[in-house]
Amino acid sequence: MSPQLKRIASNVKLPEEVDVVVIGGGIIGAAATYFMAKQGYKVALIEKGLVGCEQSSRNWGWCRQQNRDERELPTSGLSMRLWDEMSRDIGFDLGFRRCGLRYATDDPKQLAQWDAWRDLAKQYGVSTVMLNAKQANEMIPAKGRTWIGGVHSIDDGKGEPSIAAPMIAEGARALGASIHQNCAARGLDIKNGKVEGVVTENGTIKTNRVLCAAGAWASAFCRHHGISFPQASVRQTALRTKPITNIGEAIYTSNVALTRRLDGSYTVAISGTALLEFTPQGIRYAKPFMPMFMQRLKAVQVNVGRSFFQGPEAFNRWTNDSVSPFERIRILDPAPVKSNLIKTVDTVKSLFPALADMEIAESWGSYVDSTPDAIPVISPIEQVEGFFLAAGTSAHGFGLGPGLANVAADLVLGKKPIIDASSYHLSRLVNGSKIRVGAI
């Protein structure tokens, strides 16, 4: 059920001491490792499974500024620049292409939201064009549907989820970083409120700076040290076709989204639909998540599944010298929701006759971790000196990954980030402030 993934080798020996340990080999962890190694710091990237094996290889691959919440727009612009720079400097093809993204809808309310967003876009220099009905139907012709309009985000693009995080990690290794896969971080070695190391299943690495970029597992890792990080995950389903007719590089409709991959296949998913599974962690953080749940109720299916009893949101307790939940589940690999898979295939074939012969090459499920306001957390942790968090990317992590990683790297190294990162501070979610759910 896992999607395609470029596999890379691990460094054989765990270092005794480094400047920074990064926990989690997704797009943010890999990119933060790269940015810090590029500045000459000795960095160890540790990953319980394989680099890029969870959400970083299970997403659409969109790298966009279009329709971002204002709090994310500075980061999205920075990310697009960094995607360009990394693609040039690392020496490996990350699959990043500024192909433009095309959106079409027959929902007047959605079209009005896109149109209203243009005023915000102008303030941040985002190149976006509203499409009238004729233009939308020419750009995204669909059988049995007449679009009333759409959007063309000209400078946005896509990356290749199966290769981006692993190849960025390889870029970091070329600069002196070490990569350690199948090596779970069990916890921090803390003395007098300060980080002194990371305890892994293979030994302890001495360090006084740690970045936790553990995706859906971040809250569990924080809770192990008495740190509250409100986080919940929704389960999504996607598929990849076999190579097929090209109908466009990146398409969004109110029914499905399609992204063309380098090999001529498509990643396909139902737009805006997810499954919320009740879990102990979800119950713990139900109150701060209630505004989001009420706002997005129509797009969420609800049930109780296996994740109540095992995984990042289950009731987990362990010690640093015992087997942790991260070792029990090396790769969070939920099954695709069969009904959503069937609906996706039927919808694509009915909308786009050119894809009527579409065959599924692979399908998968994923857990998309979110914060109560759908805005990431990139923040120092006040309770533990030297501990930093980069998680809760709320389905925006792949495209925003380089920018978020750049901000995180600066914070870890004690430097002022290139953009204002105050909106990403963890304090907003735990100090009783009113939750302002992201607009998009």
Q: What is the pLDDT of residue 439?
A: 67
| pLDDT tens, position by position, 132-187 | 999 999 999 999 899 999 999 999 999 999 999 999 999 999 999 999 999 999 99
> How far apart (Å, rounded) are the C-alpha atoms in residues 22 and 185?
10
| pLDDT tens, position by position, 415-434 | 999 999 999 999 999 998 88
> How far apart (Å, rounded) are the C-alpha atoms in residues 120 and 143?
33
Q: What is the pLDDT of residue 305?
A: 73
pLDDT beneath 50, residues of the chain: none
Phi and psi for 428 in degrees, rounded to 5?
Answer: -65, -25
> How far apart (Å, rounded) are the C-alpha atoms in residues 185 and 198?
7
Q: What is the pLDDT of residue 294?
A: 74
Q: What is the pLDDT of residue 298?
A: 60
Q: What is the pLDDT of residue 299?
A: 64
Element (H, E) at 112: helix 108-123
Whole-prediction pTM: 0.96
Phi and psi for 366 in degrees, rounded to 5?
Answer: -155, 160
Distances 218 to 45, 231, 351 between C-alpha atoms, Å: 15, 8, 39
Which residues are CB-neighbours of 187 under 8 A, at least 6 positions away?
198, 199, 221, 224, 225, 319, 320, 324
Question: Under a CB-based contact definition with an 8 Å cutoff, are residues 349 and 355 in contact?
Answer: yes
Beta bridge pairs of residue 269: 257
Exposure string over 78-90, b if 16+ CB within 10 A, otherwise e: bbbebbeebbeeb
| pLDDT tens, position by position, 57-89 | 999 999 999 999 999 999 999 999 999 999 999
State the distance between the two ends of the chain, measured CA to CA, in whole angstroms.
Answer: 29
Share of the chain above pLDDT 90, in %: 84
Element (H, E) at 218: helix 218-223
